[in-house]
Amino acid sequence: MPVTLKVMRKTLRLLAITLAICACDRVKAPVYERVASGVWKVEVGTPDKVNLLNVLQTSPKFAAINALEEVPLPVDKDKITMEVFDGKTYLRFPLDRGERLYGLGLNFKSVAQRGSIKRLHVDHYGGSDNGRTHAPVPFFVSSKGYGVLINSARYIDVYAGTSVRKDSENPPEIKNRNADKDWSARPYSDNLEFLVPAKGAELVFFSGKTMLDVVKRFNLYNGGGPLPPKWGLGFWQRVPALFSEEDVYNEVGGFRERNFPLSVIGLEPGWMTCSYPCSYQWDTGRFPDPDGFVGRLADEGIKVNLWMNPGVAPGCDVAREVRPYTGTHTEWNGLLPDYSLPEVREIMGRCFRNNAIDKGVSGFKMDENDGYDSWFAPDVARYPSGISGEQMRQLYGSLMQRFMTELYREKNLRTYGLVRAGNAGTTSFPFVIYNDYYNHRDFITALVNCSFIGVLWTPEVRASKTSEEWLRRMQTVCFSPLAMLNAWADGTKPWSFPDVEERVKEVMTLRMRLIPYLYTAFARYALEGEPPVRAMALEPGFEGEAPNDQFMVGESLLVAPLFAGETERKVILPAGRWYDFYTGELAGTGEVITVAPGLDRIPVFVRDGGIIPMFDPMTNVPAGPCPVTACVYGKRAAACDLYDDDGLTYDYEKGAFTWIRLTADPASASGQAIVPEGGTVWSFSGYEFKFMTK
Amino acid sequence: MPVTLKVMRKTLRLLAITLAICACDRVKAPVYERVASGVWKVEVGTPDKVNLLNVLQTSPKFAAINALEEVPLPVDKDKITMEVFDGKTYLRFPLDRGERLYGLGLNFKSVAQRGSIKRLHVDHYGGSDNGRTHAPVPFFVSSKGYGVLINSARYIDVYAGTSVRKDSENPPEIKNRNADKDWSARPYSDNLEFLVPAKGAELVFFSGKTMLDVVKRFNLYNGGGPLPPKWGLGFWQRVPALFSEEDVYNEVGGFRERNFPLSVIGLEPGWMTCSYPCSYQWDTGRFPDPDGFVGRLADEGIKVNLWMNPGVAPGCDVAREVRPYTGTHTEWNGLLPDYSLPEVREIMGRCFRNNAIDKGVSGFKMDENDGYDSWFAPDVARYPSGISGEQMRQLYGSLMQRFMTELYREKNLRTYGLVRAGNAGTTSFPFVIYNDYYNHRDFITALVNCSFIGVLWTPEVRASKTSEEWLRRMQTVCFSPLAMLNAWADGTKPWSFPDVEERVKEVMTLRMRLIPYLYTAFARYALEGEPPVRAMALEPGFEGEAPNDQFMVGESLLVAPLFAGETERKVILPAGRWYDFYTGELAGTGEVITVAPGLDRIPVFVRDGGIIPMFDPMTNVPAGPCPVTACVYGKRAAACDLYDDDGLTYDYEKGAFTWIRLTADPASASGQAIVPEGGTVWSFSGYEFKFMTK
């Protein structure tokens, strides 16, 4: 073969190879469809019919989104790659030096996500932030001021600043491991890459003046946060699995006698005749008169919450009817209803109404819908709606949340409950995620992380090795979305550690006193998308990488918990003056301080000009109006808005709510509560101002 | 709506739903194409173009397969499900009560696989048998006497007897966790299920009179085992990463002075000018005369093996030429050649020939081709041949094995080396898998498991906390496919623990003495598919679940290692009489015995009538013929076949080998070596018989 022919052949082959690596299914140039201020939708390839959001039928809060300041997308669209190849959707977002990434699921060990590799997969948390978690929300928020939701119910692979492309514009320095001491096994990467195992995906882009605005847009796009019924913010006690009616009365009596707050009693599997798998029918041995039982507790102002998990016992009343609408595989012998089907929602709805909701049961703890490969329907399962095992694993908890929310909504009643799985799109459902993992420090990291991804998390308390640990855990759970002692396994009481009994009671009582403040924080979540518990990275005036052990609660409180074994800790105070919550003294000004508060108290700080509206100490969430004390921090004029509504129904969605404006002037020691003209006040009988800073 | 209409509508909807759950891409009724005795191929759906086997271009050994007794498939084909759904291939095999499953990748903690859940994924072993391992071979063998290879280069999900189908024919008993103490979170399952994330897959079924015959068929289908050059069975020492020529000479001198066996010196990254990423060029500072260096060691009968990993340093000689044929992503800044392309094999072949093979280098240690999500080209990578990131991760090690084997084969030279990744199809390549995991007990479990999946494994020794551990590790590695001390990190020598120096030397010398026996075992692997190191479950006369801590070597040796901290152990002896290897005394007869051998020796047993041909003690693998001592165990007439060939080339594939028949009669204390007429003998200068059992 003559040389020129050889060269030509080689050139052609090279061309073919170069084309091969670029070959991908025909993907149209991405169209950024503006759906609201700072929100754009992009379709890549041919997305699945079912996605994380469309099975839930929630609606974005467009008006609230549009009320946020509009800013353009702060990333060069030409540098974003979206391709379909090998039946999968490939996404690449460029990363700048110093750019920070947050979100990517309910992580327990890390807040900053740049440098992580994950496969987002609903699962029980197994001890590493590898993507297997109770809410592997495929949403990231970047410190550049944007975020992207990958709205796909698939196991999405994420390489968050770890992989290095041959064609990188910002390649890492090449080092020789033989000679360079600072050779690194993890060279610098300028890529955030995703692989969605489907031929397409819908992406939703969110921009914002700040990361907080990005998160608010994301939350509002998902329908805004839930507004729990006011009783939901009181103290919850779950009783041992096989407790009877009598046992529960005794438990409640214990709280009453000791003057400990109690709003909700949670029953565990033993309320049913069979579980697991679940009959969803009362065991009349342990509970001879369920209506009477629920009613008697209601008379004491205590709600009943019931445990359940997805598997329907084949022998129970509802099984025959629901069987055709269940998946191919079982969970602990239980049939798994396909909650995406209206038939299932009707059949199971009837079951839950008859057995529970119509009896006055306030809500549910929906266990084990996160699955676990060895018990939950495996990926090989299929469901009658046509949803695959993989998709259902990503959606099961979300679908149950939708189902249960709708059952209560039918009655114009809000519920508040617990769930083991969520995902993007569940933001508006009134369910708080929990698990069995029980590492206190990691529970707080999860509390920080839930604020990036539109879910709620409770660091529930179960048992402790020492009274110190017990107290530290009780302190943190009282500053979380759901303050609960879960004694299903061992019957622990808040007073089980006598040497810290009074301190535990104090922080539980503080929780009750803070209800006006907490309820307002939740109203902001519902109406404006602002998470009630937030990572420091979302706080204006906060610089640097977000810590995993301090967080904001509501507008003005900074909480910095201690963990067993610690006597002091560092607290990062954002810009401005910050005051000690308990004393009103100046704690610091945009600096890192060290606090050594002793066992008594969990360190809490209030921003300058913050007003914390509080009830008087009480053990029950009040049914009628009560006086409020507005605690004012700092020396300058202060103001806050206090939310109020009926605390129980969805009437607030039709405008039946009131924002009460509290203003205070420490200089003149005067304050004012302004109720807008014609505004109804449900919860407050008077306003007192207390100037905390001398 | 009249009632009948309502009923009709409901019936129609139910029908639609029932159909939906059954809906899958049109899959033809499976055709079992008989390709050899006891081997059938089945195509499900539309398999990927690239699979585990076809990129390797090896050929089944049909004649040897057909020489095995033909038995039908012992499983009801109607109960095997093969469907394509949601773009994935679903496979179900029925499981009987008591049926055992083995294989499913190179597992380190478990031998029995029923009850396990995995995603088969080439990776560094991370401490749990979840499918991420160096050789996640998608092949299982069942105690029913069949096995199936899923010939797909995808991450395959496996539920091996864990999932429960609603329509199960052998459903688990339903228990109520509230009431039944023996409620189990893992109910009985009669399914072995797979999900292949591709629209089709090729399956290969193997039947056999025994599990061993199934495994033999599988190995022969993959080309049969490799026959290492005889020097490969001697002792290997890898030296510290930055050793120079002089350092190596001193190291070799140390072995010589102390009279320790040494066959191969392995150089680590420092032989190159740059690594990682790799230049593949000699560092002339440390090695001023590579040819002279290799030659000088050759003069002492010592081979040189070179470390390398896949990433090509962008600045090195070969980089510019190979760059267009590399993947989109880099590994530690190294370009990743697509070894499936002939261009790459040509360019890189030239590089390795020039720099190493033509200089007399005997082989390579191919590191880090198993990948690790944080360093190896991630799943988002693509390769110029069109192979996706997922497929390449499953294939990279296999392709490198093919490449390197072919380079030596061109010269009619056998190589023997190390590799960090393999998969189905690599059986015939002369590479032994190793890793950094370094748990001694788990290393032995891997040694047991490699016999089910057609790969080789070495429990290489690096360092130890105590001399006891050192000795125990050296004892086991000397009974493995590759006896190596890898001192790359810390420069350990065999004599580094003086109090066990003589015992270490003794077992290393025993390794050398066993070469005729070991070489014969490998010949059986190559020609008949019988693994040289085997799980007890593959042994005739062995009942029950296979232990993870004892194994067979060759035809007649049972090895039962001890681990640091143990002074005694139980040994399961299969049916028949078994004799102590060292003393010839009867050890037991099909029973469980307890042995307490002290530190000196690793317990080894010989089956009744076994003959173990051994060399005299020596430190080098002999180049010419040597006398052999045939040790005879038991009191009955004994026989074995001893394999011989030139020990270096592929001429044996053309028939240039000889089976020497050894027979012995303890009663008359006589023995005979029968060389077939016209047979060449390369390695043996005489045969002595030693009757071990008095």
Q: How many CB pairs under 8 A join A and B?
A: 206
The pLDDT tens digits of the residues spanning A312-333 come to: 999 998 999 999 999 999 999 9
User: Who among A85, A187, A341 is closest to B332 (CB)?
Assistant: A187
Taking 70 as the threshold, does the pLDDT of residue B22 lie above it?
Answer: no
Residue B24: predicted pLDDT: 66
Kindly identify which residue of chain A lies nearest to residue B326, measuring between CA atoms.
A166
Domains of chain A (ranges plus CATH)? Answer: 26-167+186-221 (2.60.40.1760), 525-607 (2.60.40.1180), 611-691 (2.60.40.1180)
* B644, B655 Cβ separation under 8 angstroms: no
Residue B27: predicted pLDDT: 60
Which residues, listed in sequence order, are joined to residue A93 by a DSSP beta bridge? Answer: A192
The pLDDT tens digits of the residues spanning A528-551 come to: 999 999 999 999 889 888 899 999
Mean pLDDT of A227-253: 98
Mean pLDDT of B273-283: 96
Instruction: Pull the structure tokens for residue A556.
Output: 């003005």
DSSP states of B92-160: EEE--TT--EEESS--SS-S--TTEEEEEEE----SS-SSEES----EEEETTTEEEEEE--S-EEEEE
What stretches of B208-329 adopt beta strand conformation (E)? 235-238, 264-267, 303-308
| Interchain CB distance below 8 Å, A386 and B185 | no
Residues of B in contact with A314 (CB under 8 A): 174
Distances (CA, A) of A567 to A238, A307, A563: 30, 37, 9
Write down the pTM of the prediction: 0.95
Distances (CA, A) of A116 to A162, A186, B292, B466, B537: 7, 11, 47, 37, 41
Give helix then strand counts, H and E, for chain B.
12, 34
Residue B541: predicted pLDDT: 85
Taking 80 as the threshold, does the pLDDT of residue A560 lie above it?
Answer: yes
Residue A11: predicted pLDDT: 80
Residues of B in contact with A378 (CB under 8 A): 117, 157, 159, 162-163, 193
The rounded distance, in Å, linking the Cα atoms of B232 and A123 is 46
Instruction: Pull the structure tokens for residue B183.
Output: 């409620």
* A532, A482 Cβ separation under 8 angstroms: no
Distances (CA, A) of A640 to A660, A672, B498, B522, B675: 8, 11, 77, 82, 101
Instruction: Pull the structure tokens for residue B348.
Output: 């890189």
Residue A27: predicted pLDDT: 60
Kindly identify which residue of chain A lies nearest to residue B115, measuring between CA atoms.
A374
User: Who among A175, A378, A383 is closest to B159 (CB)?
Assistant: A378
Which residues, listed in sequence order, are joined to residue A632 by a DSSP beta bridge? Answer: A611, A691
Q: How would residue A22 be classed by pLDDT, with cut points 50, 70 and 90?
A: low
The pLDDT tens digits of the residues spanning B329-350 come to: 999 999 999 999 999 999 999 9
User: Coil, strand or helix: which one is B436?
Assistant: coil
User: Who among B157, B242, B390 is closest to A178 (CB)?
Assistant: B242
Q: How would residue B372 be classed by pLDDT, with cut points 50, 70 and 90?
A: confident
**Distance from A19 to chain B by nearest Cα, in Å?**
8
Please name the residue that has the structure tokens 């202060």: A638
| Interchain CB distance below 8 Å, B389 and A174 | no
User: Coil, strand or helix: which one is A579?
Assistant: strand
The rounded distance, in Å, linking the Cα atoms of A334 and B192 is 20
Taking 70 as the threshold, does the pLDDT of residue B1 lie above it?
Answer: no
Reading phi first (left if > 0) and then psi (alpha if -120 to 50, else beta), residue A436 is in alpha
Which residues, listed in sequence order, are joined to residue A681 by a DSSP beta bridge? Answer: none
Burial grade of B122 (CB within 10 A; 0-12, 13-18, 19 or more): buried
Provide Rg for chain B, Cα atoms: 26
The pLDDT tens digits of the residues spanning A612-664 come to: 999 999 999 988 999 999 999 999 999 999 999 999 999 999 999 999 999 99
Mutate to test the interface with A, among B150, B159, B162, B166 (most CBs of A within 10 A): B166
The pLDDT tens digits of the residues spanning B172-218 come to: 999 999 999 999 999 999 999 999 999 999 999 999 999 999 999 99
Give the 3-state DSSP-derived string for B7-42, with helices as H, strands as E and coil as C: HHHHHHHHHHHHHHHHCCECCCCCCCEEEECCEEEE
Mean pLDDT of A230-239: 98
Instruction: Pull the structure tokens for residue B279.
Output: 């230049």
Mutate to test the interface with A, among B152, B163, B194, B345 (most CBs of A within 10 A): B163
Task: Indicate the DSSP class of residue B651.
Answer: G
Mutate to test the interface with B, among A382, A390, A395, A436 (most CBs of B within 10 A): A382
Residues of B in contact with A174 (CB under 8 A): 277, 313-315, 333
**Distance from B166 to chain A by nearest Cα, in Å?**
5
The helix (H) or strand (E) run that includes residue A148 is: strand A146-151
Mean pLDDT of B147-175: 96
User: Coil, strand or helix: which one is A104?
Assistant: coil
- Give the up-direction half-sphere exposure of residue B508: CA atoms within 13 A in the CB hemisphere: 31
| Interchain CB distance below 8 Å, A388 and B88 | yes
Residue A375: predicted pLDDT: 73
Q: In what order do the strands lie in the sheet with A670-674?
A: A638-645, A657-665, A670-674
The rounded distance, in Å, linking the Cα atoms of B590 and B544 is 12
Instruction: Pull the structure tokens for residue B79.
Output: 């109960």
Nearest 10 degrees: Cα torsion A218, A224, A228, A230: 110
Q: How would residue B690 be classed by pLDDT, with cut points 50, 70 and 90?
A: very high
The pLDDT tens digits of the residues spanning B83-140 come to: 999 999 999 999 999 999 999 999 999 999 999 999 999 999 999 999 999 999 999 9
Q: Would you mind telling me the total number of residues written for chain B in this entry?
A: 694
| Interchain CB distance below 8 Å, B174 and A373 | no
Q: How would residue B17 be classed by pLDDT, with cut points 50, 70 and 90?
A: confident
Please name the residue that has the structure tokens 């990333």: A75
**Burial call A23-33: b when 16+ CB within 10 Å, e when fewer:** ebeebeeeeee
Contacts with A157 (C-beta within 8 Å, 6 or more apart), sequence order: A117, A118, A119, A120, A194, A195, A197, B378, B379, B380
Contacts with A131 (C-beta within 8 Å, 6 or more apart), sequence order: A104, A105, A118, A119, A120, A121, A155, A158
**Distance from A630 to chain B by nearest Cα, in Å?**
48
| Interchain CB distance below 8 Å, A329 and B379 | no
ipTM: 0.94
User: Who among A162, A241, A276 is closest to B374 (CB)?
Assistant: A162
Kindly identify which residue of chain A lies nearest to residue B337, measuring between CA atoms.
A166
Q: In what order do the strands lie in the sheet with A88-94?
A: A81-85, A88-94, A191-196, A156-160, A116-122, A132-133
